[in-house]
Amino acid sequence: MARNAVQFQRGLSEAEFERLYGTEEQCRAVVIAARWPDGFSCPVCGGRSHSEVKTRDLFQCTKCRRQTSPIAGTIFASTKLPLRTWFRAMYHLTQSKQGISSIELGRRLGVRQTSAWMLKHKLQQVMLERDGRKRLTGRVEIDDAYLGGERSGGKRGRGAPGKTPFVAAVETTPEGKPVRLKL
């Protein structure tokens, strides 16, 4: 039997994660690079030159003097948690094979369960929205199925009470290997 390439793909070790995102400054640099890949651009006037307001972690456009936060308009906006905590939450959500509960996430991050729950749900919403914009292309295989229903004594099959119908569509390669799934 062939080895499953997805199951055995190389992940990011905790030591490597700490090296890449171990400090607040490293996490902030990643957010800035993702937000302005070609360098700072003022959201109001489009100006490229700026100064930094170090006491408040803001960029100030030298043309219109508008102050802009690198996290404004992102999932991190209005957060009281450090970016490092957000990045560690992303790491734990993406690296755990069976998923992670908000209680366990809170333990690992050193925050309350309610904060961990909020982090988890915001990150899941962002992942859902990102995947929702991508359309399946090329060869797509579709099938319908039913989930749930009563087991004992009742009617069996598609007409059983309590069954929830759903459709699964899978984008596949020409060789028939799955690429993306939509339910």
pTM here is 0.73
Judge contact between 94 and 103, C-beta under 8 A: no
Q: What is the CA radius of gyration of the chain?
A: 22
- The pLDDT tens digits for 158-174 are 666 677 888 989 989 88
Cβ atoms of 71 and 77 closer than 8 Å: yes
State percent of the chain over pLDDT 90. 49
pLDDT at 6 over 80: no
The least confident of 38-42, 58-62, 103-107, 145-149 is: 145-149
pLDDT digits (tens, 9 = 90+) for 99-132: 899 999 999 999 999 999 999 999 999 988 887 7
Instruction: For residues 175 and 84, give the distance between their C-alpha atoms in angstroms, rounded to a whole number.
Output: 41
User: How far, in Å, are 2, 51, 74 from residue 32 at the CA level?
Assistant: 42, 14, 11
Please give the single-letter amino acid code of residue 36: W
Domain boundaries, given as residue ranges, for the chain: 14-133, 139-182
Contact indicator for 173, 179 with CB cutoff of 8 Å: yes
